[in-house]
Amino acid sequence: MTHSPWQPITPAKPARERKAPLTRDRIVDAAMELLRKEGYDGVSMRKVAQELKTGPASLYAHVANKRELDQLLVERATAGMSFDDPVDPARWQEQLKDVMRAMLGAMRANPGVARAAIGAVPTGERALQTTERMLALLKAGNLPDQAAAWAVDLIPLYVTAIAFEETVQSASDWTAEDVEAFVAGLRAYLAGQPADRFPLVVALAGPLTSGASGDERFEFGITVITAGLAALAQS
């Protein structure tokens, strides 16, 4: 007997479960999970803290604010992007299109990230690597320095806008039949406008409401962008 018979037996306290230490990676993990479940509007410092079973104040030791968290979400979403092929001056336009396709693919794989990227100045490691890649391609195409600098702002803005539009559209409860009916109605509306005031809108009502896929529209956009940039090349 290891205790006095007159000493009451106190049940052993269950061992307290040790919490995993809070880190930036765990915070981003939780934020990405919220992004998947609830969309961008569902991601806040308070909700991330709830996911991690801690208080919001503890997050600020690792992430300065929601703006920095947005940057980290974009970094995580684009972590899989890689550009291993060397810059080829003869193919710089196609290689630049590949960068844009990779950016859109990363955002499509992480719906909601486009909203986090809009209006932000990318400063993370992954973002800077992508910027460096685009600058290298643009300089290989003999673009002036200022044109190259403006281009690396224009390109992500276009890609992000496309991804954001797709996120908004996918969040609606429209069926394929609903979309088809809307497009047909829009075509009839445009075709029915006064031809003396809107002759081209009426004449092009069909093409203006064509059922081109998102990929076709995106490819048209990046072709226009690269062709426009090529026109600025120094001889």
The domains of the chain are located at 24-63, 89-230
Q: What 8-state DSSP symbol labels residue 42?
A: G
**Which residues 6+ apart lie within 8 Å of 152 measured at CB?**
131, 134, 135, 138
Q: What 8-state DSSP symbol labels residue 13?
A: P
Closest C-alpha among 133, 158, 148 to residue 220:
158
- Which tokens belong to 54? 């801690």
Domain 24-63 sits in CATH at 1.10.10.60
Burial (0-12, 13-18, 19+ Cβ within 10 Å), 177 = exposed
pLDDT at 6: 58
Q: Could you list the pLDDT tens digit for every one of the 235 residues in the chain? A: 555 555 566 666 665 556 678 999 999 999 999 999 999 999 999 999 999 999 999 999 999 999 999 999 999 999 888 888 999 999 999 999 999 999 999 999 998 999 999 878 878 899 999 999 999 999 999 999 999 999 999 999 999 999 999 888 877 777 888 888 988 999 999 999 999 999 999 999 999 998 667 899 999 999 999 999 999 998 7
pLDDT at 14: 61
Give the CATH H-level superfamily of domain 89-230. Answer: Tetracycline Repressor, domain 2 (1.10.357.10)
